[in-house]
Amino acid sequence: MGSPRKSDRKALLDIGAWLFNIVTSVGIIMVNKALMATHGFTFATSLTGMHFVTTTMMTIVFRWLKLIQPSHLPMSEVLKFALFANLSIVGMNVSLMWNSVGFYQIAKLCMIPASCLLEVVFDQVRYSQGTKLSIMVVLVGVAVCTVSDVSVNARGLMAAVIAVWSTCLQQYYVHFLQKKYALNSFNLLGHMAPVQAASLVLVGPFVDFWLTGKRIDQYAYALPSVFFITLSCLIAVGTNLSQFICIGRFSAVSFQVLGHMKTIFVLILGFLFFGKEGLNLQVVLGMIIAICGMVWYGNASSKPGGKERRPHLPQRNSNGFTGEKTHDDDKV
């Protein structure tokens, strides 16, 4: 009798996690778009550093309130994660600057196959035919509605490769560390946020000056721009936390596939708030194909054999000992 209730509760929590991630991610994209396009604050890397400073302050408050329990994570793991995460942030910004928008979008789509490869190699995940085909449909749909002009150059290709693999490794590592060290999302964020905040605050102004030719200390701050910067930082706390929650509950691949729902929402909201330029039959068709693929992926990957991994990852319990996962825990 207890099993169906437990299953229903898990389904509700899963839906809540996805909605939390979608709302905060779409919200921060719209706020940042207004901040950069309307108020000319083009310092993306420094803004991300501010996001992690705010997130660090949140984790400190939560620790003080005893909402985050003490946990251990080796500094070598923290530094490795911070390297992947910061390379991802800088790499995506440089890729957008050096590549056409079309090739930048193609590079983002490559993250799903790359994440699949990481899971196959390191976690021995096996995908069913239906799951593979559904991922292909999602990729085709998002490509149809986002990819237009495509031009490639050597340095842009290099930046895209670094951006794709560092992002995939960072997202894979979120899931890996939570499982290996039995950390919840708050614990992991508490370990990671201070290191990312410190590193991005230090290097952010230099990276932004390199990318834009503008200095953040010479920006003409005004009440509206400060309001949007503050709002962006507050929403970022939820975005960072929801990313860790979602990847911890699911996997990097599922996060990438269903994460393209945010791309569709951003396109729709962009047309609603920033004008309907660019809205045509091709874009609408691409959205429909992508949404159908996402629904198919959710159904195919949840079926027995849709997406399974062999047990091999040792996991720490509260006493510090390790044990192998059982086969019952291997569906992802």
> What are the pLDDT digits (tens) for 75-112?
999 999 999 999 999 998 888 788 777 777 788 888 88
272: tokens are 């609603």
Split at pLDDT 50, 70, 90, the class of 246 is confident
Q: How many residues does the chain have?
A: 332
- Which pLDDT does position 92 carry in this prediction? 87
CA 242 to chain CA centroid, Å, is 9
Residue 139 pLDDT greater than 80, yes or no: yes
Cα 4 from Cα 24, distance rounded (Å): 30
- The stretch 191-203 carries a mean pLDDT of 95
Give Cα separations from 166 to 80, 120, 268 (angstroms): 11, 17, 29
> What are the pLDDT digits (tens) for 123-135?
888 888 888 898 8
Residue 316 pLDDT greater than 80, yes or no: no
Q: Please choose, from the candidates 95, 71, 115, the residue with its C-alpha nearest in 3D space to the C-alpha of residue 255.
A: 115
Split at pLDDT 50, 70, 90, the class of 322 is very low
- Which pLDDT does position 3 carry in this prediction? 57
- The stretch 257-279 carries a mean pLDDT of 69
Residue 26 pLDDT greater than 90, yes or no: no
Cα 240 from Cα 51, distance rounded (Å): 9
Q: Backbone phi, then psi, for 276, in 5-degree steps? A: -95, 15
> What are the pLDDT digits (tens) for 273-290?
666 555 677 778 888 888
Cα 134 from Cα 306, distance rounded (Å): 11
Q: Please choose, from the candidates 300, 332, 290, 295, the residue with its C-alpha nearest in 3D space to the C-alpha of residue 109.
A: 290
